[in-house]
Amino acid sequence: MMKRKDIFLGNGAVALGLVEAGCQIVTSYPGTPSSEILPEVVRLVKSEGLNTYIEWSTNEKVALDNAFAAAISGKRAACCMKQVGLNVAADSLMSAAYLGTVGGLVIVSCDDPGPHSSQTEQDTRLMARLAKVPVLDPSNPKEARVMARLAMELSEEFRIPVILRPAIRVCHARQALSWGPLKNNTKKASFEKDPARWAATPRFRFILHGELNEKLKKIARRFEGLTAHNFHDLEPGKKYPLGIIAGGIPYSVVRDILTEEDRKDIPVLKIGTPYPFPEALADIFMSACEKVLVLEETDTVMEYFLRDRKKVLGRLSGHVPSEGELAPQVVYRLVDKVLKDLGLAPFKGDRNQDALDLVASLDLPVRRPTLCAGCPHRASFFAIRKARPKAIFTSDIGCYTLGLNLGGVDTCLDMGAAITMASGFYHAFNQDQVAQPIVATIGDSTFFHSGTAGLLNAVYNDARFILVILDNEITAMTGMQPTPGLGIRADGSKGKAISLERVVAGCGVDFVEVVDPYEIKAMTKLLKKATEYVNSSTGGIAVIIARHPCVIAYPKEAIPERKSVTVTDDCTECNFCLERFECPALYHDEELGRTNINQSLCTQCGVCLQICPKGAIVEA
C-alpha cells in the first residue's frame, strides 16, 4: 500500500504515533495545548476504519483511571491532557506508577511555557520525577510521533506508565509526515486477578515501590544507549571551553541558532529522555567541556541531575531566566552573553536598532481577547452585575473568564473553584456576621469536570450563594468539544445526555431554575428571586442554569430570529454600553458623535436592544 505525505499538526503527529503503536483505547479532557490530539485520533481512526475506543472523559483523573484499567487488561491505552490537567490526574498517576501495567499506558501531558493559555508554567517532567515514571521530551512533531510509539513499547516492556511531554511549540507546529495504512491491534482484554498488586495494601505498596525503583534503573540503562533521541556531536579526544545540554524545543532552537551562526566550536548534547536521566552519557559530555550550559523548559530538571555546581550554567546559576518561554531571541541573547562572559567569540548579530526606534513612536493599540459578538455569556454577566452589583464574583476556567472585562469575574483559581471559593468566601464573611453577596459563574463543561464535589460540600455545610451555570452546550474555549450535557460523544456518535438540572438537584440543591440569558429582564428578575432565597432563613444555595447555545458552535440555533439594530440620536455618549456590555460590534463613532454598530461584526442577536439606559439602541 502507498505511503502518503501530509502536513500534521504536532498534536496530530502524537495521535499518529499512538495509533501506529496499536493504541486501542484513547481518553482525554480538552485543554490548550493538548486539545487537538483526540480529534486527530478520531480523524485517523475514521479514515482508516479502525475500532479504537475513544472518549472525551469528564476530567483528567477519570481519563487516566479509564486508560489504566484498559492497560492492566493487557491492552494498549493512552490518555491526553494539558499539564495542569495532570494535577487533576496526579492521584491516579502516583498510584499507577507503583501498580504498573500489563499492556501499555502512555500519558500525554502537554506543557505551556509562556504561559500562553494556562494558570501556571509547571513542568510535567517534574511530575514524572515525583511519580517515578519515565518521561520523553520531543523537540519537534516528527520526534513526537516516534516518541509516542516508543513510549508505548517501553510501557509494555517494563510494565510502567510512560509520560510523553510535548511543549506548546511542538503541539502547535506543523510538519509534513509520510504515513501509511494503519492496522487494528487485535489484542483481547484479559484481567488476571492479583489483589496483592491491583488492590495493594500499604505493606504490599512497599514491595511495589522497590519493584518500581528496579524498573527505573533498567530503563535508565536503556536510555543511555538510545541514540535516536539522546546524542551529542563531540569529536573524540577534543576538549571544549563550552558545551550545551538541551532538550525539547530549546534544543531545536539552539541547534538552529548555532547552524545560522556557523558555530561548530560549541558541542550540543541533546536529551530526549530527561527522566530517568542518562547520567553516564552526560558524564562523557561533561568531561569534554569546561563549562556546560543547560537549556530546558520550563523548570530545572536536567540541571539538578548534573550535580556539578562549578561547571553547570543554567537557572540555578542565574544564566537562564526562571520564568517564560525559551524563545529564539531569549536563547540567542543568553548564549551570546555566556560566550562573552567566558571570553569566547560572541554571535555576529544583525539587528537594525534604528528601525525599531522609529516604530516605537507609533503607539499600537493592544488587542485583548473578548467574548464574541452575540455570546450568551456577555448577556449573563450584564444581568448578574445589574442584579447583584456589590457581590464578589467567583468564576472559573473557560471563555467566560473573559467576563473580567465586564467586571463580572473577580477570581479564577482552578477548575471548579467558582463553587468552592464561593463557599469559602461565604464562611469567611459569615463568621463575622457579614452578609456578603456572592455570585459564582461556571461553564457547563467545567461544572461536569469539577463542580459536583464542591457543590454538594457547599450544600452540606450550609453555605449561601448564587451559582450561575453558564450552559452554552459545548466546551467552547478549547475548540468546541462536546460536553456530557449534549449527549454526543467524541466520535460524533450518540451518548446518553446528562441533565444538569438533575445533577444539581442530586447535589442537594432545592432552588434550580433555567433561564435564557438573552432575556436580560427575565434573568435579572430570576437573580433577584434567587437572592431572596439565599437570604431567607429556610433558604440555601440557589442555582440558575443560564442556557443558550454558543454563537460560534451553533450560529443558527443561537440566533433563530435575527434583529437588525441601529442607534438613534437619543444616544448621549454616556458610553455605558461600551463599558458594561463591550460587544465588539458596538463602537463610538467620532463623526456621528454617538455609539454606532459595526454591521460586519454584528450577529444581530438583538441583546443590546435591552441595555441602553436612554433607549437609544433600537431595531432598524
The piece of 350-358, 487-495, 497-505, 529-537 that touches another protein (CB under 8 A) is 350-358
Q: Give residue for cell 567541556.
A: 289
**Does 367 sit near another protein (CB under 8 A)?**
yes
Q: Pattern of binders to another protein over 302-341, x per CB under 8 A?
A: -------------------------xxx--x---------
DSSP 167: B
Q: How far is Cα of residue 108 from the mean position of the Cα atoms in its chain? A: 12
Question: Could you tell me the smallest distance in angstroms from the CB atom of residue 32 to another protein?
Answer: 4
> Which class for 378: exposed (0-12), middle (13-18), buried (19 or more C-beta within 10 A)?
buried
Residues 6 and 137 sit within 8 Å (Cβ to Cβ)? no
Per-residue contact track with another protein, 187 to 226, x per CB under 8 A? Answer: ----------------------------------------
Q: At what angle do helices 520-535 and 376-387 cross, to 10 degrees?
A: 50
Output 165 or 169, the one with its CB closest to another protein.
Answer: 169
Q: Which residues, in sequence order, are CB contacts of 350 under 8 Å at separation 6+?
A: none
Residue 559 found at the interface with another protein (CB under 8 A):
no
Beta strands in 198-338 (DSSP E): 231-232, 240-246, 268-270, 289-295, 312-313
Please tell me whether residue 360 binds another protein under the rule CB under 8 A.
Answer: yes
Q: Which is nearer to another protein, 128 or 550 (CB)?
A: 550
Give the count of beta carbons closer than 10 Å to the beta carbon of residue 210.
11
Angle between helical axes of 328-341 and 248-260 (0-180°, round to 10): 60
480 binds another protein (CB under 8 A): no
What is the smallest separation between the CB atom of 52 and another protein, expressed in angstroms?
24
- Assign 3-class secondary structure to 430-462: HCCCCCCCEEEEEEHHHHHHHHHHHHHHHHHCC
Measured from the CB atom, the residue of 4 and 238 that comes closer to another protein is 4
Stretch that binds another protein, among 54-62, 445-453, 488-496, 580-588 (CB under 8 A): 580-588
| Contact indicator for 487, 496 with CB cutoff of 8 Å | yes
Closest distance to another protein from the beta carbon of 30 (Å): 11
| Of residues 10 and 134, the one with the C-beta less far from another protein | 10
For the CB of residue 139, give the shortest distance to another protein in the complex, in Å: 8
Question: From CA 443, how far away is CA 348, in angstroms rounded?
Answer: 51
351 near another protein, judged by CB under 8 A = yes
Q: How far is the CB of 447 from another protein (least distance, A)?
A: 20
Report if residue 407 touches another protein, rule: CB under 8 A.
no
Q: Cell 457579614 belongs to which residue?
A: 434
356 binds another protein per the rule CB under 8 A: yes
The binder of another protein chosen from 257, 266, 559, 611 (CB under 8 A): 257
Alpha helices (H) along 467-583 = 500-506, 520-535, 555-558, 576-580
Binding span for another protein by CB under 8 A among 281-289, 366-374, 411-419, 512-520: 366-374
User: By CB under 8 A, is residue 594 in contact with another protein?
Assistant: no
Stretch that binds another protein, among 100-108, 121-129, 249-257, 554-562 (CB under 8 A): 249-257
CB nearer another protein, residue 400 or residue 465:
400
Cell triple for 274: 530527561
Cα–Cα distance measured from residue 470 to residue 546, given in angstroms and rounded to the nearest whole number:
5
43 sits near another protein (criterion: CB under 8 A): no
Under rule CB under 8 A, how many of the chain's residues touch another protein? Answer: 60
Among the listed residues 309, 368, 494, 556, the single contact to another protein using CB under 8 A:
368
Q: What is the 3-state secondary structure (H, E, C) of 182-230?
A: CCCCCCCCCCCCCHHHHCCCHHHHHHHHHHHHHHHHHHHHHHHCCCCCC
Q: In terms of residues, how long is the chain? A: 620
Q: Kindly give the interhelix angle for 90-99 and 202-224, rounded to the nearest 10 degrees.
A: 80
Nine cell digits for residue 444: 457547563
Does 116 help bind another protein (rule: CB under 8 A)? yes
When asked if residue 2 is in the footprint of another protein (CB under 8 A), the reply is: no
DSSP one-letter code for 400: G
CA–CA separation, 330 vs 312, rounded Å?
19
289-295 and 466-471: which strand pairing? unpaired
Q: Is 599 in the site for another protein (CB under 8 A)?
A: no
How far apart CA 402 and CA 69 sit, in angstroms, is 38
Which amino acid is present at 354? D
Pick the binder of another protein from 362, 432, 538, 569 (CB under 8 A): 362
Q: Give bridge partners of residue 618 from the DSSP assignment.
A: 566
Q: Looking at 262, 350, 432, 561, which residue binds another protein (CB under 8 A)? A: 350
For residue 146, state whether it binds another protein (rule: CB under 8 A).
no
Nearer of residues 154 and 249 to another protein, judged by Cβ: 249
> Closer CB to another protein, residue 495 or residue 584?
584
What element of type H or E holds 513?
strand 511-515
Grid cell, residue 283, equals: 558524564
- The answer to the question of residue 262 lying near another protein (CB under 8 A) is no
Q: Should residue 142 be labelled a site residue for another protein when binding is judged by CB under 8 A?
A: yes
Of the ranges 281-289, 543-551, 554-562, 582-590, which one interacts with another protein (CB under 8 A)?
Answer: 582-590
Q: Of 53, 90, 174, 505, which lies in the binding site for another protein, with binding defined by CB under 8 A?
A: 174
Cell numbers given for 469: 451555570
Nearer to another protein, 169 or 215 (CB): 169
Tell the smallest beta-carbon distance from residue 142 to another protein (Å): 7
Kind of pairing between the strands at 565-567 and 617-619: antiparallel
| Residues forming the site for another protein (CB under 8 A) | 5, 7, 32-33, 116-117, 140, 142, 168-170, 172-176, 249, 252-253, 255-257, 260, 327-329, 332, 350-352, 355-356, 358-360, 362-372, 399, 402, 405, 477, 575, 578-579, 582, 584, 586-588, 598, 600
